[in-house]
Amino acid sequence: MQVPLTVRDFIDRAESVYPDRIAFVDEPDQPATPLGPWTYGELAAKARAQAAFLDDLRVPVGGRVAVISQNSARLLTSFFGVSGWGRVLVPVNFRLAVPEIQYIIEHSGADVVYADPALKDVLDQLDVTHTFVLGEDDQMFASEAAQPREWANPDENATATINYTSGTTARPKGVQLTHRNLWLNATTFGLHTTVSDRDVYLHTLPMFHCNGWGMPYIQTAMGNKQVVLRQVDGAEILRRIDEHGVTMLCGAPAVISMVLDAAAEWDGPIPGRDRVRVVVAGAPPPTRTIARVADELSWEFIQIYGLTETAPLLTVNRSRTEWDDLDGLERAKRLSRAGVPALGVRVRVDGQGEVQAQSNHVLEGYWEQPDATADALDGGWFHTGDGGIIDDEGYVVIADRKKDVIISGGENVSSIEVEDALMAHPAVREVAVIGTPDEKWGELVTALIVTDGSDVGEDDLVAHCRERLAGYKLPRRIEFRDELARTATGKLQKFKLREPFWKDHERQVN
């Protein structure tokens, strides 16, 4: 027998096994009225109501529904209310600038767009049939009794979400993740991080970012309370862990640094001592940060590695019994590697040092970009664009990046996109955008610029970019140069430009 693996399974299980458990605690401090708390029975009913509402709007199976929102219970509900009945959820990065959002909405062909009240102005600037402000949701969750039309032919290979991600091109690409991709990513993730029905999950990671790495699905299936955090803040994270008895959270290394800073100022015992597991990915975490998580927080540190295109789970690194007798620093060193392949994942490093993977979580394709899809999957392996090695214990170590991407605070920034924005300024003749190491953000977006000799300042250039790009993509460091290193054929030699900034670093990514 084969039963299609769809994201409906997660909410259906929660409703049948844990109907009376609290599903979420919504962010109390947000512009819309917080929802709930709802039980899983109520969450399932509201997801049905949302699906029924989309029926009324005549959004077909396969139709795209975009949500532009910080973490919120409404976005969490949409993971099921939209994809659960065969439509495609497009969760959009709320930090993006208006032209970036316009591109994504247009490219995805969304029929419906929901936006957080703080972002509602963007709705007037979109060419979309149905737009709604989250919170003014009499319509979104029309009536609890509403029954949607069943998805006639549930298909595990149908696209469930499209996640736009910045890569090596000037425009972001839409990563098509199928129900099967998401299902297997979420359950395999749950297996390796031992998600049980006794967990309490804190949504520190943005849900739009590769669907919160699968947590909205697996925590729902296990009937766990999900505490929604709208804005990352170290002290607030500690406070919520304390208040709600949180056992698990995920985040980029920059988030962990914020928590460590807040812990240093914290009065009294650190919340979640010997209870919390923190899963870290997005950039290579420094060994020292890993050691501090054990020493100063007494939380378990787990690292995973992957990309939006791989749903994301490829490798996992969790302390194993063989390391029990090691001292803290030795264990931290071993944990600083990206990890070993998760169940069902195959990883190799090709002759050029690129990490490549095969797994059931690897994307179906880039939405309406068959050429980019063929390149990414060339030879039957997914090309990560990351440079690394597999060490003699079989652990993947990410040491380098083949692709022209900067990772700042765990978010990808395409160098080309920032270069394009800067080149649009009349005083800019040449530009190279590179990542430079930074203690807090991992990498800083750094622009090396040759001007036409006019008196343009850093502030002018940043203000110019701000109209086109999200805040986290703006150049944080600008240096003016007389010329930029190029090859004989005129190609920028970025490795030469990066060299002075990275020369004291063992790894060429941070």
Question: In this structure, how many other beta carbons lie within 10 angstroms of the beta carbon of residue 325?
Answer: 8
Residues sharing a CB contact under 8 Å with residue 439, sequence separation 6 or more, in sequence order: none
Per CB under 6 A, the list member of 193, 384, 414, 510 interacting with ligand AMP is 384
Least Cβ distance, residue 165 to ligand AMP (angstroms): 5
Which segments of 74-212 are extended strands (E)? 88-92, 110-115, 130-133, 159-165, 173-178, 200-203
Nearer to ligand AMP, 131 or 360 (CB): 360
Return the structure tokens found at 140.
Answer: 């979104």
Q: How far apart are the first and last CA of the chain?
A: 47
> Per CB under 6 A, which region of 51-59, 176-184, 302-310, 418-426 contacts ligand AMP?
302-310
**Judged by CB under 6 A, which stretch of 129-137, 224-232, 281-289, 374-382 contacts ligand AMP?**
281-289
Q: Which is nearer to ligand AMP, 81 or 172 (CB)?
A: 172
Stretch that binds ligand AMP, among 66-74, 179-187, 254-262, 277-285 (CB under 6 A): 277-285
CB of 376 vs ligand AMP, minimal distance in Å: 12
434 belongs to the binding site for ligand AMP (CB under 6 A): no
Q: Is 386 in the site for ligand AMP (CB under 6 A)?
A: yes
Using CA atoms, how far apart are residues 410 and 205, in angstroms rounded to an integer? 10
Report the C-alpha gap between 468 and 417 in whole angstroms.
Answer: 10
| Residue in 34, 84, 272, 284 binding ligand AMP, rule: CB under 6 A | 284
Of the listed pieces 16-24, 97-105, 294-302, 306-314, which binds ligand AMP according to CB under 6 A?
306-314
Cβ proximity of 403 and 168 under 8 Å: yes
281 binds ligand AMP (CB under 6 A): yes
Smallest distance, Å, CB 172 to ligand AMP?
10
Q: Does 314 engage in binding with ligand AMP (CB under 6 A)?
A: no
Q: Which window, 51-59, 113-121, 199-207, 305-313, contacts ligand AMP (CB under 6 A)?
A: 305-313
Q: Is 336 in the site for ligand AMP (CB under 6 A)?
A: no
Least distance to ligand AMP, CB of residue 396, Å: 9
Check binding of 338 to ligand AMP (CB under 6 A).
yes
In the chain, the amino acid numbered 368 is E
**Is 397 near ligand AMP (CB under 6 A)?**
no
User: Which of 35, 105, 307, 456 is in the footprint of ligand AMP by CB under 6 A?
Assistant: 307
Q: Calculate the CA 400 to chain-centre distance.
A: 20
CA–CA distances in Å: residue 161 to residues 134, 157, 215, 240, 340 = 19, 12, 14, 29, 27
Report in angstroms how near the CB of residue 510 gets to ligand AMP at its nearest.
9
Q: Does 390 bind ligand AMP (CB under 6 A)?
A: no
| Site size for ligand AMP (CB under 6 A) | 19
Handedness of CA 35, 147, 114, 66 (dihedral sign): positive
| 156 near ligand AMP, rule: CB under 6 A | no
SS3 366: strand
Regarding 282 and contact with ligand AMP (CB under 6 A), the answer is yes
**Contact status: 382 vs ligand AMP (CB under 6 A):** no
Q: Which two tokens stand for residue 193?
A: 């991080």
Give the residue from 253, 163, 268 showing the smallest Cα distance to 442: 253
Among 398, 449, 492, 497, binds ligand AMP (CB under 6 A): 398
Q: DSSP for 413-479? A: EEHHHHHHHHHTSTTEEEEEEEEEEETTTEEEEEEEEEE-SS---HHHHHHHHHTTS-GGGS-SEEE
Stretch that binds ligand AMP, among 147-155, 300-308, 415-423, 480-488 (CB under 6 A): 300-308
User: Nearest CA to 110 among 174, 165, 158?
Assistant: 174
Pairing assessment for the beta strands 110-115 and 130-133 based on DSSP bridges:
parallel
Taking the complex as a whole, the smallest distance from the CB of residue 415 to ligand AMP amounts, in Å, to 13
**Measured CA distances, 258 to 232, 255, 284, 289, 294 (Å):** 9, 5, 16, 11, 15
For ligand AMP, the binding residue among 72, 108, 165, 373 (CB under 6 A) is 165
Enclosing H/E stretch for 294: none
CA angle 437, 439, 442 (to 5 degrees): 55
* Least distance from ligand AMP to the Cβ atom of residue 476, Å: 19
Q: Select from 378-386, 434-442, 476-484, 485-493 the region that touches ligand AMP (CB under 6 A).
A: 378-386
Interacting positions 458-477 with ligand AMP (CB under 6 A): none
257 vs 308, beta carbon nearer ligand AMP: 308
User: Using CB under 6 A, which of 308, 408, 414, 446 touches ligand AMP?
Assistant: 308
Q: Are 416 and 168 in contact (CB under 8 A)?
A: yes
Tell me how far apart the alpha carbons of residues 273 and 481 are, in angstroms, rounded to a whole number. Answer: 50
- Is residue 340 within 8 Å of 318, Cβ to Cβ? no
CB-nearer residue toward ligand AMP: 272 or 435 = 435
The contact set with ligand AMP (CB under 6 A) reads 165, 210, 281-284, 303, 305, 307-308, 312, 338, 384-386, 398, 401, 407, 412
